Structure 1
Amino acid sequence: MGSSDSILAGIGATVLAVALAVCGFAFCCMPPTTNWLASSMSLGEESPYTHDQLVQLADVTRTYTVDQRSLGDDPVQAVANATLTCAREASAEGSPKADLWNAQAKAVLDESAADASPDVTMEKLAQVSDRYALDSAAMTHLDDCYRAITGVSSWLGMIGVAALLVAILLFVRKQFAALAFMLRVGPVFLVAVLGILGLWAVIDFNGLFAVFHSFFFEDGTWTFPADSLLISMYPLTFWQGMAGVWAAGAIGLGVLCFVGGCAASWRAKQQAAELAAEAARAAKKSKKGKKNRG
């Protein structure tokens, strides 16, 4: 493995580790992931919404945060409509959650039933209590999340393309030793970083959570009351589950890359043996030629 190939393999291993982390995050953004974790973790006991309603709202909110365009021309209204539909069901007479809706909240829903804009009604409901609806601060945070995800997604996608191009280049040039280094060291590096972060999470998940958010959001814009609708949908255990999905997805793909690296290493050994045998034949032929001339 020449110096240029060594440098290329090192770059490839680094971008591969980042690409695997990005792929792990992509698993987190998938609708089934949110639905599964919300179904398992959403807090319905003290919420004015039932568990199933919280899961439904979590799904809509995920779409708003990750892919607003799929909600139509006005995604805010889509979230508001879903919230108000669930609110009217939850507060209706006979609902198991009806007694958790106070008179003021019910009055807001009754007054708005005819002609009020859904987003205005949602804000009024949130002013009664953010247990009932997402207030402007919560919606602003979701907008911040959307901008962060869409803003970095193209750059992160380029990293994945870079890793693929380096691997293809090494394969085409038959630099199997360098390819093996890239495919095995990249996942090992990722696992080492995840191991450190995992230990930190075990010791102080809240601290890790805060540091992670500080990279993307201003202080005070991502903390909400424990009984708010946003936290009822996405409690701390939900994010712990997300971290697990992220790590599992990245490591799972890393294992596949490592196996590919082992195959490339085996091919590199074959290549080295073939080159050695060819060199031995060439040396033997050259020695025989000299002997004949002598």
Structure 2
Amino acid sequence: MGSNSILAGIGATVLAVTLLVCGFAVCCLPGVTTSLAGTVSTGETSPYTHDQLVELAGVTRAFTVDPHRDAEAAAEDVAAAVVDAARAASAEGAPKAGEWTDAARRALDAPGTSLDAMDALAKVSDRYALDGAAVSHLEDCNRLITGVSSWLGMIGVAALVVGVLLGVRRQWAALAFMLRMGPALLLALLAVLGVWGMVDFNGLFAAFHSLFFVDGTWTFSYDSLLISMYPLDFWMGMGGVWLATSVGLGAVCFIGGCVAAWRAQVQARELRDAAEAAARKGKGKKGKR
């Protein structure tokens, strides 16, 4: 097996991973969270209004996804947003004021920081605020995402380098293999996950979380603030965005692979014609002798 074939195999593998990562990166964009939360976070069973849940989902997304140097300060920002929303939602005359108990209102006046107030509010009920378990889980997510992002970025760079190297070498057949096999590998993986998701989405969701988090640290009551912001439909929508992005980019790569395959055919024909011309020229020289 030649070096170009090995490069093509490596390239196809890292390309498949890169396409998957690109889909996840799109899911992490603020606009995607806002759009999906605006669609599925109805607020019907929550003490917060729909608009407040959407706003809090955006704040929580930033805490979960964006890198931050000071985790405590970042958590304080989330708590401040939750406490401000809670005061507005529980105020007399507010649309959801009837959902708030006297104990919840008193918790908002707890002395100390916004984190202290949110913790006091969560102890009344996790419907009102993110409790310690929820904040801890979001911090775990942040450490995971920010921790692997640089490594995943390096995989993307590797895919680009291999593709450029094969192109510069004019190894069109190897490049075609990489650009078409990478999406094919991705589709094979997505097909398996897609069937699993259709048969048992909850099982797939649980299995995915179990890969990265300790059991019991990522399950919350159905009416908690965290689940009200991000219900099951939200994650199904995220899965759709992830799928559409990865498959769409894979289709672009596959088209590029078809172009490379055409270039490989042209190259092969040119080499064959050149070899035949050289052979005829050689016979002509022998004839003159």
TM-score, normalized by the shorter chain, greater than 0.5:
yes
Shift of residue 73 of structure 1?
7.9
Shift of residue 52 of structure 1?
0.4
Alpha-carbon distance in structure 2 between the residues aligned to 1:72 and 1:238? 25
Is structure 2 residue 218 aligned with structure 1 residue 183?
no
Is structure 2 residue 10 aligned with structure 1 residue 14?
no
> Structure 1-normalised TM-score?
0.96
* Residue 168 of structure 1: aligned partner: 164
| Residue among 237, 243, 265 paired with 1:247 | 243
Shift of residue 72 of structure 1?
9.6
Give the partner amino acid of 1:45. E
Shift of residue 152 of structure 1?
1.0
Distance 1:282 1:68, change over 3 A: closer
* Residue 104 of structure 1: aligned partner: 103
Alignment of 1:1-294 (within 5 A): 3-69=2-68, 74-109=73-108, 111-112=109-110, 116-293=112-289
Shift of residue 4 of structure 1?
2.0
Maintained 8 Å contact 2:82/2:129: yes
Maintained 8 Å contact 1:134/1:229: yes
Task: Tell me the secondary structure at the aligned position of residue 215 of structure 1.
Answer: helix
Shift of residue 69 of structure 1?
2.8
Give the partner amino acid of 2:93. G
Give the partner amino acid of 2:133. A
Alpha-carbon distance in structure 1 between the residues aligned to 2:3 and 2:79? 56
Give structure 1 regions of 4+ aligned residues with deviation exceeding 3 angstroms. Answer: 70-73
Give the partner amino acid of 1:263. V
Give the partner amino acid of 2:253. C
> Structure 2-normalised TM-score?
0.97
Task: Tell me the secondary structure at the aligned position of residue 47 of structure 2.
Answer: coil
Alpha-carbon distance in structure 1 between the residues aligned to 2:16 and 2:129? 40
Name structure 2 gaps, 5 residues minimum: none
Q: Cα RMSD (Å) of the superposition?
A: 1.4
Alpha-carbon distance in structure 1 between the residues aligned to 2:81 and 2:168? 52
Maintained 8 Å contact 1:63/1:70: no
Distance 1:5 1:239, change over 3 A: same
Task: Tell me the secondary structure at the aligned position of residue 141 of structure 2.
Answer: helix
Distance 1:81 1:68, change over 3 A: farther
Give the partner amino acid of 1:107. R
Alpha-carbon distance in structure 2 between the residues aligned to 1:90 and 1:272? 71
Shift of residue 108 of structure 1?
1.5
Percent identity at matched positions? 61
Maintained 8 Å contact 1:64/1:71: no
Task: Tell me the secondary structure at the aligned position of residue 134 of structure 2.
Answer: helix
Maintained 8 Å contact 2:67/2:146: no
Task: Tell me the secondary structure at the aligned position of residue 214 of structure 2.
Answer: coil
Q: Deviations over 1:105-158 (max 9, x none)?
A: 01112x23xx52100000000000000000000000000000110111111111
Alpha-carbon distance in structure 2 between the residues aligned to 1:26 and 1:72? 22
Give the partner amino acid of 1:59. G
